[in-house]
């Protein structure tokens, strides 16, 4: 049988990885899919740019729309990123009756509801395994492997760049900027690295995970998002003294009050498996009522790992060519007419424990003022540490770990603490999670 012809939009890191994996493993891929899968057409912004991979046998097109409309292309792989042009091309591919594979988390998180509706109407598949956690088959695991469960939470490290930065800061005491530059040169970071370090990329991925775990529509705008730019080597060290690691987590949790959707730096106990996931690796903890806790671990970014997911989606689509569209795995795990809007809790309503770090004047009564304000706000202290003053310094760091409290009460307490004359500057607050 003729090989299946794929058109590739984008010849960047993931595009190159996809070409290379399809070539390298061509025989095994054909044995799995029942047909060969080849890239016959590709388009890129700059077709003349020198590349590290060969484009032999691939017809290059200057206009991406020409590729999407090309009668020979059976599956479109969208690997250009961004949300505007990508949306237009994916919608056009769907309208042409072509199946689509995408690694674009922003596209799915922001326009996914519209894209899946159009794809369902047209009877085509839009596959997006590569959009979340790189090479880890987390979409397949939740959507198919855990289909018998009621899932209560999905939490983990879903951005490789921030984990790479936090790991190097802890292990090598290197500056934030220095490690970020390395992550960019290795192809881990987004085109705009603000998306990584401010948590937007993780929020895109969490939006997708929450939808397929809980059967809710994609609601990116409701995710609380905080990045890692304020985290210091000092905080990483203090956390360790208390037996914690700082990780940048995405947390989607279903509680009796509503659904929590949040991305922020988090102190987690160092004995947790996820606390020991280093570098560009991702790890996701999914808790189902039947299976209990399960963990998925692997490379969350990079050319070959992301291509691993893109190619798996291509194989899935080829296997499903002749199936009845109504009997395929639904895009968001639940049948599209069975998705339900559950309340997404604002961050102020969510309860967590906190790590607080403040700079205090080394004077009698300062600690008493601090503990009084926390007590009056109903915040119970779990542990406290005051470092001896460094010679010549007038301020000493005070670190406090609290018990769980609603964020709105912590906000009020922090405001009062920052107003104390003996407390200098802003108070550093990092949320804690037992990840259990
Ligand atoms: N910039 C992303 C990351 C790439 O660092 O995880 C994979 O989505």
- Name the segment(s) of the chain with CATH classification 3.40.50.720: 4-135+303-338
Task: Give the whole-number percent of the chain exceeding pLDDT 70.
Answer: 100
Q: Where, residue-wise, is CATH 3.30.360.10 in the chain?
A: 138-299
Q: What is the pLDDT of residue 391?
A: 75
Distance 205 CA to ligand 1 centre (A): 10
State the pLDDT confidence band at 242, using cuts at 50, 70 and 90: very high
- Indicate which atom in ligand 1 lies nearest the CA of residue 190: 1
**CB of 160 sitting under 6 A from ligand 1:** yes
> What confidence score (pLDDT) does residue 380 get?
97
Which pLDDT belongs to residue 176? 87
Report domain 350-432's class: alpha beta
The residues of the chain that CATH labels 3.30.70.260 are 350-432
Each residue's pLDDT tens digit, 36-48: 999 999 999 999 9
What is the predicted pLDDT for the residue at 393? 75
Give the model's pLDDT for residue 67: 98
Q: Top-level CATH class of 138-299?
A: alpha beta
Give the integer Cα–Cα distance in Å for 82 and 78: 10
The whole-number pLDDT of residue 175 equals: 86
408 φ/ψ sector (left φ>0, alpha ψ -120 to 50, else beta): alpha
Taking the complete model, does pTM exceed 0.95, yes or no? Answer: yes
What is the per-residue pLDDT for 431?
A: 98
296-303 mean pLDDT: 95
Domain 4-135+303-338, CATH: 3.40.50.720
Ligand 1 touching residue 201 (CB < 6 A): yes
Pocket test for ligand 1, best of 81, 133, 159, 162 (most atoms within 8 A of CB): 159
Cβ neighbours of residue 209 under 8 Å, at least 6 residues apart?
Answer: 132, 138, 142, 154, 158, 250, 252, 284
What's the pLDDT band for 362 if we cut at 50, 70, 90?
Answer: confident
Number of Cβ atoms within 10 Å of the Cβ of 324: 8
Does residue 189 have its Cβ closer than 6 Å to ligand 1?
A: yes
pLDDT digits (tens, 9 = 90+) for 12-67: 999 999 999 999 999 999 999 999 999 999 999 999 999 999 999 999 999 999 99
DSSP string, 233-271: HHHHHHHHHTTEEEEEEEEEEE-SS-EEEEEEEEEEETT
Ligand 1 atom closest to Cα of residue 162:
5
| Whether 205 is catalytic | yes
């Amino acid at each position: 049988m003729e090989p299946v012809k794929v058109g590739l939009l984008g010849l960047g890191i993931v595009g190159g990885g996809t070409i290379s994996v399809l070539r390298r493993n061509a025989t095994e891929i054909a044995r799995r899919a029942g047909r060969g899968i080849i890239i016959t057409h590709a388009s890129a912004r700059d077709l003349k740019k020198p590349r590290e991979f060969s484009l032999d046998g691939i017809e290059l097109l200057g206009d991406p729309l020409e590729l999407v409309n090309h009668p020979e292309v059976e599956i479109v792989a969208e690997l250009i990123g961004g949300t505007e042009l990508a949306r237009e091309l994916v919608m056009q591919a769907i309208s042409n009756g072509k199946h689509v594979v995408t690694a674009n988390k922003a596209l799915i998180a922001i326009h996914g509801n519209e894209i899946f509706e159009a794809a369902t109407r047209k009877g085509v598949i839009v596959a997006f395994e590569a959009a979340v956690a790189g090479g880890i088959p987390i979409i397949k695991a939740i959507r198919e492997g855990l289909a018998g469960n009621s899932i209560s939470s999905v939490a983990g490290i879903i951005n490789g760049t921030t984990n790479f930065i936090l790991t190097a800061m802890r292990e090598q005491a290197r500056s934030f900027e220095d490690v970020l530059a390395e992550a960019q040169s290795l192809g881990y970071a987004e085109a705009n690295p603000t998306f990584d370090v401010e948590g937007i990329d993780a929020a895109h991925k969490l939006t997708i995970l929450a939808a397929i775990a809980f059967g809710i529509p994609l609601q990116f705008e409701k995710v609380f998002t905080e990045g890692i730019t304020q985290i210091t080597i000092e905080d990483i060290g203090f956390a360790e003294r208390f037996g914690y690691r700082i990780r940048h987590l995405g947390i989607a949790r279903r509680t009796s009050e509503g659904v929590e959707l949040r991305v922020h730096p988090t102190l987690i106990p160092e004995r947790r498996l996820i606390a020991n996931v280093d570098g560009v690796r991702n790890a996701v903890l999914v808790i189902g009522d039947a299976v209990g806790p399960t963990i998925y671990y692997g490379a969350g970014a990079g050319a070959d790992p992301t291509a691993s997911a893109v190619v798996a989606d291509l194989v899935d689509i080829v296997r499903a060519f002749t199936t009845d569209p109504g009997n395929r795995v639904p895009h968001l795990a639940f049948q599209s007419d069975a998705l339900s809007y559950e309340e997404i809790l604002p961050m102020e309503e969510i309860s967590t424990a906190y790590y607080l770090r403040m700079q205090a004047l080394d004077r009698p009564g300062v600690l008493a003022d601090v503990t009084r304000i926390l007590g009056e706000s109903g915040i119970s202290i779990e542990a406290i540490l005051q470092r001896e003053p460094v010679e010549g310094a007038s301020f000493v760091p005070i670190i406090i770990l609290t018990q769980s409290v609603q964020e709105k009460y912590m906000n009020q307490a922090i405001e009062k603490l920052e107003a104390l004359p003996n407390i200098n500057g802003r108070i550093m607050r990092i949320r804690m999670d037992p990840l259990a």
